[in-house]
Amino acid sequence: MTNSGWQAALGVVCVGVLASAVPAAAQSGQPSGVGGGGGGGRGGGGPFHAPEIKDTASLPGPRQPIFFRHDVHAGQDKIPCLYCHSTVTVSSEPGIPALQTCIGCHQIIGGSTPSHTAEIQKVRKAWSDRQPPQWIRIHALPGFVRFPHQRHIKVLGTGACVMCHGQVETMAQVSQVSTLRMGWCVRCHAERKVTQDCTACHY
């Protein structure tokens, strides 16, 4: 990539996102996390600062091939969920972002701690080797169940992720917090007077 290429990426993709993330998140009603970002957090504390993590083995959820932290990206840096999971409003699958989404920032941002730098090196290597990371899927329903994300987001809003996924923006490593069992689905459908027809959810 040419110099002007990555500078454009920095300006448009990276700084643009980081700068606009706060109002975008506020508008979308995205939950603001532990520190509340932007100063709206509990006790009037400063912006959320993702902790340094020494013992990664004790984190809940599966270990991913690259230690990608939602508490840093979505929490501390306030990148909106939809920046990376952009199809959640239009498709049944929110999608996991392609490396291209990462590299716009990480060609420039190399990391401010040794562990960040080491993990970001893996992102750069994956990009130059054209070997996208094999992310381990965490939430998965059996094949006979239909779950349209977009229908839920349309009614519950773009900030509804927290209702089903918990406070992902505070998670260093994503883990499943809801059971995803039939009773869990049906309970919310009953509360919100949404269909409970077997055929709505089952093929």
33 within 8 A of 48, measured Cβ to Cβ: yes
Span 83-102, contacts to ligand HEC by CB under 6 A: 83-85, 88, 93-97, 101-102
How many residues belong to the site for ligand HEC (CB under 6 A)? 79
Span 1-30, contacts to ligand HEC by CB under 6 A: 14, 17-18
Position among 72, 90, 114, 128 found at the interface with ligand HEC (CB under 6 A): 72
Which CB sits closer to ligand HEC, 8 or 200? 200
Query: Residue 3 Cβ, how far from ligand HEC at the closest point, in Å?
Result: 19
Which CB sits closer to ligand HEC, 4 or 113? 113
User: Which residue type, as a one-letter code, is found at position 6?
Assistant: W
Examine residue 203 and tell whether it contacts ligand HEC (CB under 6 A): no
Examine residue 201 and tell whether it contacts ligand HEC (CB under 6 A): yes
Q: In sequence order, what are the beta bridge partners of 202?
A: 145
Helix extents (H) in the chain: 3-8, 16-28, 70, 81-84, 99-106, 114-128, 149-156, 161-165, 182-191, 198-201
Q: Residue 35: which residues within 8 A CB-CB, separation 6 or more?
A: 41, 42, 45, 46, 47, 48, 49, 75
